[in-house]
């Protein structure tokens, strides 16, 4: 029996660790060839590539900051050179930082916005033409719960994720004639390796009905659904994976 993503090519941004890494590994397990993108930690990206190849999959590293307008076109070119083009785009790159609004500089605001929102736009502009030529595809943007519950000290993150969700809804309609699905995935509190700037988060401080953090594997499982053959009638949605902390 063939794997569900056999013959497909996925580009995953921010794939050196945490959610992005797990998504890249999961899509490789489903048969996709993976373009593993990271901004600066080449050792981490190379490690993901090595893990995929060791398991019998295909992957290449593609370094670069997706907020730089020159980078996404290069990533698309590298994907085309390695595997012929991209069928699946997972825009996961993003920065996490907590700063009160009254103390936030415009440079910090733009830094967060440029990676998450500008990066998704630029990646889409570079990669979607390949999807059109290949007869369809799937575009998933990783959003977050903060844009729905109102999180203090993270207005830049919340705004960037709100923009991502709006982008996916608009593109879902615009790209539907090309058989390209576009969805946002909004994780809640997920057990990941975090930098000190992201702040503490004991589970007892979060109103999560399931009384635990989610796992990166649970996020990757939802991405697998959205980009796989079972997800072809799902588009224009924000899918929440948050243990009930935010209810729609």
Rounded to whole angstroms, how far apart are CA atoms 14 and 208?
A: 27
Which single residue is written with the structure tokens 């981490």? Answer: 44
Q: How far apart are CA 186 and CA 168, in angstroms?
A: 12
Asked if residue 246 belongs to a domain, the reply is no
Residue 207: which of 141, 142, 143, 150 has the closest Cα? 150
pTM listed for this prediction: 0.94
Question: Cβ of 150: how many Cβ atoms within 10 Å?
Answer: 9
Residue 97 within a domain:
yes
Domain boundaries, position 207? 9-241
CA distances from 185 to 108, 211, 237 (A): 24, 21, 8
Does a structural domain hold residue 2?
no
Residue 1 resides in a domain: no
**Terminal-residue alpha carbon distance, the chain:** 37
**The pLDDT of residue 200:** 56
pLDDT digits (tens, 9 = 90+) for 161-182: 999 999 999 999 999 999 999 9
Q: Say if 84 falls within a structural domain.
A: yes
Q: Which residue has tokens 């941004």?
A: 13
Whole-number pLDDT of residue 150: 85
Residue 247 lies in a domain: no
H or E element in which residue 185 lies? strand 180-187
Supply the pLDDT for residue 202. Answer: 61
Q: Does 4 map to a domain?
A: no
pLDDT of 199 reads 55
β-bridge pairing 59-63 and 88-91: unpaired
What CATH number does residue 73 fall under?
A: 3.40.50.720
The pLDDT, as a whole number, for residue 18 is 96
Residue 92's φ and ψ, nearest 5 degrees, are -110, -15
CA-derived radius of gyration, the chain: 17
Task: Count structural domains, the chain.
Answer: 1
Listed as ranges, residues in the chain with pLDDT below 50 are 195-197
Asked whether residue 248 is assigned to any structural domain, the reply reads no
């Amino acid at each position: 029996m063939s794997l569900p993503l056999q013959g497909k090519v996925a580009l995953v941004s921010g794939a050196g660790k945490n959610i992005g890494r797990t998504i890249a590994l999961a899509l490789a397990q489903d048969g996709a060839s993976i373009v593993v993108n990271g901004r600066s930690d080449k050792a981490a990206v190379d490690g993901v590539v090595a893990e995929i190849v060791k398991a019998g999959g295909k992957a290449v590293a593609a370094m670069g900051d997706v907020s730089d307008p020159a980078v996404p076109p290069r990533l698309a070119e590298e994907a085309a050179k390695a595997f012929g083009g991209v069928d699946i785009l997972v825009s996961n790159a993003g920065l996490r930082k907590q700063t009160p609004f009254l103390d936030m500089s415009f440079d910090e605001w733009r830094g967060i916005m440029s990676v998450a929102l500008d990066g998704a736009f630029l990646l889409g502009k570079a990669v979607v033409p390949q999807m059109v030529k290949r007869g369809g595809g799937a575009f998933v943007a990783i959003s977050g719960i903060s844009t729905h519950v109102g999180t203090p000290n993270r207005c830049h993150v919340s705004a960037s994720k709100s923009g991502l969700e709006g982008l996916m809804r608009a593109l879902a309609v615009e790209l539907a004639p090309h058989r390209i699905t576009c969805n946002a995935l909004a994780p809640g509190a997920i057990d990941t390796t975090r930098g000190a700037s992201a702040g503490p988060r004991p589970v007892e401080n979060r109103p999560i009905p399931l009384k635990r953090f989610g796992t990166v594997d649970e996020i990757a499982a939802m991405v697998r659904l959205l980009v796989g053959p079972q997800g072809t009638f799902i588009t224009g949605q924000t899918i929440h994976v948050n243990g009930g902390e935010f209810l729609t």
